[in-house]
Structure 1
Amino acid sequence: MVIKAVVYDADKTLWNHHNISELVEPMSVSGDVLVDGRGDRVVVFPGVRDTLKTLRETGIMLGLATWNYESATKRVLSLLDLRFDVVVSKDYPYKFMMLMEFLIRASQLGMRIKPDEVLYVDDRRDHFGYIWFHIGKVKCLEMWKDVKEHREILKMIENEPNS
């Protein structure tokens, strides 16, 4: 299987915060740290930026599928300067529906991606069964269990057969 797209969850996968939809203005950023109006901090995990950059350079499409309000997701991604080709941000937890939307939007951008060409990374394994049932053989990784740091995702992709 060749991985053509990596789709990430956001909260507790890309950064330490559990729910960016709770953040309030004004927000400020210094490096990998965003601070909101109450002093809540969002810290991008080590290796995230390098991993995203390497994936993009190798031609892999980057997606985000997150259970957050779209306005909050857009604001935080913009402030932290994190870029994805397709962002699906919904106020419900059904990741399989978000991944279906990702595949549709990728197709609209000219990328024909089959489910078994997608790697999905989330800190919660409980989404995986629904993804496999509704979409098919998406490769799923549980962040912090299957991989301990973001750069390991690159090694997993390199070690995939036919990569």
Structure 2
Amino acid sequence: MLIAVDLDGTVWDHPDISSLYPPFRRVTQLKIADSRSTEVNLRPHVRDFLRWANEAGHLLTTLSWNDHDVAYQALRTFEIDTYFHYLAIEPHPRKDKMLYKLLRQIEQERGVKIRPEEIVYIDDRDIHLIEILENIGKVRFIHFGKDVQCFLEIPRIISP
């Protein structure tokens, strides 16, 4: 299974990490700050979820509309970048195109064709869902903040 996770508002509480000013520094285990002291909080239990997904053999990717460098620096500062097999982070809102490109990449690199029903997409907003459903297919969408309130709930939802 491929698990695609949004970053802004989902993995962390900030609505637009690209608007911040790296370098980031670690404040606590769950908090970083940029060079202007703007703080960003990692959602509770994100690490536990990412660890579970890896141990369960799922492929993990980000699926984020952001400046790649800024988002990557935040992931590294939180020390969660290594959990992800792929980083789909591009400076445009077409998450369907990002996901399509990633699926082709996985097929080339791993020889695995992932079907839409084998994709779980987690996001705090559903604004990209229609394009994903139309152009990728019927992925499983988990609306963070509505379908689940905590990352600890997700394994129970997606496990067979």
Q: TM-score range, shorter-chain basis?
A: over 0.9
Deviation track 1:33-55 (CA, whole Å, cap 9, x = no partner) reads 11111111111100110001001
What is the aligned-residue identity percentage? 31
Query: Does structure 1 residue 15 correspond to structure 2 residue 16?
Result: no
Deviates more, 1:79-88 or 1:108-117: 108-117
Q: Is the aligned partner of 1:96 residue 2:96?
A: yes
| Distance across 2 between alignment mates of 1:64 and 1:105 | 14
Q: 1:68 aligns with which of 62, 66, 69?
A: 66
Q: How does 1:11-50 map to 2 (within 5 A)?
A: 11-29=8-26, 30-50=28-48
| Equivalence for 2:130 | 129
TM-score (norm 1): 0.91
SS in 2 for 1:136: coil
TM-score (norm 2): 0.93
Structure 1 counterpart of 2:57: 59
Distance change (3 Å), C-alpha of 1:151 and 1:25: same
Which stretch shows the higher mean deviation, 128-137 or 20-29? 20-29
Q: Partners of 2:30 and 2:105 in 1: how far apart?
A: 29
Counterparts of 1:77 and 1:108, CA distance in 2: 26
The alpha-carbon deviation at position 8 of structure 1 amounts to: 0.4
Contact 1:141/1:147, CA 8 A, preserved across alignment: yes
Gaps of at least 5 residues in structure 1 are: none
- CA deviation string 1:11-58 (max 9, x = no partner): 000000111111113321131211111111111100110001001000
